[in-house]
Amino acid sequence: MQISVVNQENQVVATSRPCGYGVALEYTQAYQAGDAVVLSVEQAGLFELQIDECLGKSVVYLEEEARFQIPTEASKRTCYPKLAFAGDCHLMTLTPFSPEMRRNLALNAYDHHHTKGIHPHASANVETRGEMVFAARNAIDGVFANHSHGDYPYASWGINRDPKAEMSLDFGRSVIVDEIRLTLRADWPHDSWWTEAVVTDSNQTRYVLPLTKSPLPQIFPIKPTTITSITLGELKKADDPSPFPALTQIEVWGTEA
The per-residue pLDDT for range 75-119, each reduced to its tens digit, is 999 999 999 999 999 999 999 998 788 999 999 999 999 999 999
Residue 126: per-residue pLDDT: 98
Structural domains in the chain? 2-98 (no CATH), 118-256 (2.60.120.260)
Q: What is the pLDDT of residue 21?
A: 85
Low-confidence ranges of the chain (pLDDT < 70): none
The pTM of the full predicted model, rounded to 2 decimals, is 0.87
Cα distances from 173 to residues 23, 226, 232, 250, in angstroms, run 24, 10, 18, 18
Strand partners, 67: 38, 116
Q: 224 in the Ramachandran plot: left (φ > 0), alpha (ψ -120 to 50) or beta?
A: beta
Long-range Cβ contact pairs of 80-86 (< 8 A, separation 24 or more): 80/54, 80/55, 80/152, 81/54, 81/55, 81/152, 81/153, 82/152, 83/54, 84/52, 84/54, 84/55, 85/31, 85/52, 85/54, 86/30
pLDDT of residue 217: 95
At residue 221, the pLDDT reads 98
User: CA–CA separation, 176 vs 201, rounded Å?
Assistant: 11
- What does the pLDDT read at residue 101? 83
Q: How far apart are CA 252 and CA 230, in angstroms?
A: 9
Percent above pLDDT 90 for the chain: 96
